[in-house]
Amino acid sequence: MANSPSFVDHALDLLTLVGPVEARRMFGGHGVYARGVMFGLLDDDELFLKTDVESRPRFVEAGCRMWVYPGSDETSYWRPPDEAHEDAESMLAWARLGLEAALRLRAAKDAEAKAKAARRAEREARAAARKAAPSRKRSPARKGRR
Instruction: Tell me the percentage of the chain whose pLDDT exceeds 70.
Output: 91
* Statement: residue 32 has pLDDT above 70: yes
Q: Confirm whether 125 is domain-assigned.
A: yes
User: Does the residue 141 lie in any domain?
Assistant: no
pLDDT at 91: 97
Query: How many CB atoms within 10 Å of residue 35?
Result: 13
In a domain, 97, yes or no: yes
Task: Assign residue 11 the CATH number of its domain.
Answer: 3.30.1460.30
Residue ranges in the chain assigned as alpha helix (H): 5-15, 56-61, 88-132
pTM of the model: 0.78
Taking only Cα atoms into account, the Rg of the chain, rounded to an integer number of angstroms, comes to: 26
Alpha carbons 119 and 129: distance in angstroms, whole number = 15
What are φ and ψ of residue 7, in 5° steps? -70, -40
| Residues spanned by the domain of 66 | 5-130
Give a yes or no: residue 58 inside a domain: yes
pLDDT higher than 90, residue 113: no
Q: Are residues 40 and 26 in contact, defined by beta-carbon separation less than 8 angstroms?
A: no
The rounded distance, in Å, linking the Cα atoms of 125 and 107 is 27
Q: How confident is the model at residue 138 (pLDDT cuts 50, 70, 90)?
A: low
Considering only residues 143 and 53, tell me which one the structure prediction assigns the higher pLDDT: 53
pLDDT at 57: 97
Count of domains observed in the chain? 1
Residue 57 maps to a domain: yes
**Domain-embedded: residue 146:** no
Which residue type sits at 8?
V
Residues whose CB falls within 8 Å of the CB of residue 124, separated by 6 or more in sequence, listed in order: none
> Is 145 a member of any domain?
no
Q: Is residue 137 part of a domain?
A: no
Nearest C-alpha neighbor of 68 from the set 94, 41, 93, 33: 41
